[in-house]
Structure 1
């Protein structure tokens, strides 16, 4: 078994333990997550993410089993790490490699965490539109994130294989992110809504499955008169999964602009994802206060897209991962700071989901 497989297996076991602990805590509290609990959980997850950063800068070379100068040179070349090794000094060269690995992980983590904020906004719309009870948010988000981990794993390693074989895909990803960033800026003031009755997943579920006409506590499936039916809560879970899939198309290429090492992309992605649920409960009530955050995220995506397109020129000019981190943090800090300095009140909008409507439509 390779070092990469062992490292990845250990990481996944670690993540599953965290999720299991979180699930048990959610059951004990009846699914209700207070601001205090969300804050503590967010702090805990971020602290774990930072601990992993220190693991990488200390033992990162063990990920790819680097034990010689030849192996170090091979890994740096394969993943295009901006590291200048010191000939005849393996120990110091490994230190430089580990420091860069940790910096790439940290930058990718911040990018993914920032882009998750837009994901949270959409999740709030979904829960509000379908009339999901707050006590069921935790259950939907838990299983949604578990599914997201599986999808991200597939996306990231397939993406890494494609980039390794077709380097021009980086330019495609870059152009896509620029277009996405510009689109996000142009639609920053758009009043987003979810048409619950005509949503593609709602139509799909009603066409191919038996769907119960009302929520049944926190259950995803229910048996009525001997017939097993899908509850509206499971439809909401499917929509959350589909939403994450859409966001992954933006966020994963963005992190590949920071590092080509699929393991670092995966680690940073997963740590950001497991922090998404606690951040949801922490920001759900105050997200509307960050009025300039979408502008910041659009600038962030545009910068990353430009970096992917002009990466060869930037490397020639000495542009390093630390420079990317500084620009990314500055963009986020300015957008958040401006939002707090120049607040704007927004009207609350609610759209309720009527399961009875779909039930009548089927008949």
Structure 2
């Protein structure tokens, strides 16, 4: 898809304006209600659907299919990442009225990181075709690791990475939150608050999330414009989705299995594409098949997850 520089600029300006509107409505610390979360979630999904349809209307049918495949994949990975956000919120005991602000900053950090990674990925792909082998192998490994993690029975807990541990050692911090302030001055000393630490926790985990999602979407399209917009629309509304399906996440017990199948499928697709680029006559997987597999796997794992959760709940009632 040939996108001019003015169109890139217009897209970024519109996205920034939408983010500003979202930030304006959520600027005051408050507990997000289900009605508010549902309204905004629907708003962001409708915008993404309209954007995808718009691409088809202007004659970019291939780009439209790639956008929807990328958007659904990135949104699914984001939903899985929400569980990590829940663990982070619990680890740092973030008050309910401040969680929305933390997530807003996390989404902004994620957007910036994705933009950087997309630019780097596009530059690598345009220069070295063998990068597809690396992306494909990484996704297949990630798929296997997701299955291994899903089979563990122990209760998950957020583990602070080396970066966070270094920050906590070097910077004196308060034990309590002081509104949304990132630092305060107490007895002449500048102290960071838990709000800054938890924002850094969200931001540092965003780096790891991008390592999975960027190769995945490059396996569906190599168009930087589609990669960027699919990621942007998938991330926008993530904050509201956290409050909307926070309780439902624990019921999606098979989501990791579904995501592992999708990542493994895209990994194989990337390897086949790399072989094709190097002159090997192998079948390539088209967008219609990719979109069907992604939607089908997500639908099946959602249904089986809800069924398994209901059976477990019924078993617990009968046991008690």
Query: Normalization by structure 2: what TM-score?
Result: 0.90
- Superposed displacement of residue 3, structure 1: 5.3
Aligned to 1:56: 55
Aligned to 1:225: 187
Q: Distance in 1 between matches of 2:267 and 2:173?
A: 42
Contact 2:272 2:284 in 1 (8 A): no
Q: Distance in 2 between matches of 1:188 and 1:150?
A: 30
Contact 2:70 2:227 in 1 (8 A): yes
Aligned to 1:303: 265
Q: Distance in 1 between matches of 2:183 and 2:121?
A: 34
- Superposed displacement of residue 316, structure 1: 5.4
* Residues 251-291 of structure 1 deviation map (CA, whole Å, 9 limit, x = unaligned): 10000011111111001001101121111111111111111
- Superposed displacement of residue 45, structure 1: 0.1
Q: Distance in 2 between matches of 1:168 and 1:37?
A: 46
Pick from 146, 157, 161 the counterpart of residue 193 of structure 1: 157
- Superposed displacement of residue 210, structure 1: 3.1
- Superposed displacement of residue 318, structure 1: 6.0
Q: Distance in 2 between matches of 1:246 and 1:210?
A: 26
Q: Secondary structure at the match of 2:30?
A: coil
Q: Distance in 2 between matches of 1:35 and 1:155?
A: 33
Q: Secondary structure at the match of 1:228?
A: strand
- Superposed displacement of residue 221, structure 1: 1.8
Aligned to 1:141: 103
Q: Distance in 2 between matches of 1:257 and 1:165?
A: 16
1:3/1:258 CA distance change after superposition, 3 Å: closer
Q: Distance in 2 between matches of 1:4 and 1:135?
A: 42
- Superposed displacement of residue 116, structure 1: 0.7
Confirm or deny that 1:332 pairs with 2:305: no
Count of aligned positions: 304
**Where do residues 1-363 of structure 1 align in structure 2 (5 Å cutoff)?**
4-28=4-28, 30-59=29-58, 95=59, 98-190=60-152, 191-195=155-159, 199-311=161-273, 312=275, 317=283, 319-343=285-309, 344-345=312-313
State the superposition RMSD in angstroms: 1.9
Structure 1 unmatched runs, 5+:
60-94, 346-363
Contact 1:222 1:229 in 2 (8 A): yes
Q: Secondary structure at the match of 1:27?
A: coil
* Residues 47-99 of structure 1 deviation map (CA, whole Å, 9 limit, x = unaligned): 0001111222234xxxxxxxxxxxxxxxxxxxxxxxxxxxxxxxxxxx3xx10
Query: Normalization by structure 1: what TM-score?
Result: 0.79
* Residues 135-184 of structure 1 deviation map (CA, whole Å, 9 limit, x = unaligned): 11110111111111111111001111001111111111111111110111
Contact 1:111 1:255 in 2 (8 A): yes
* Residues 181-237 of structure 1 deviation map (CA, whole Å, 9 limit, x = unaligned): 0111011043321246xx423321133333223211222222223332211111111
Structure 2 unmatched runs, 5+:
314-320
Aligned to 1:73: none
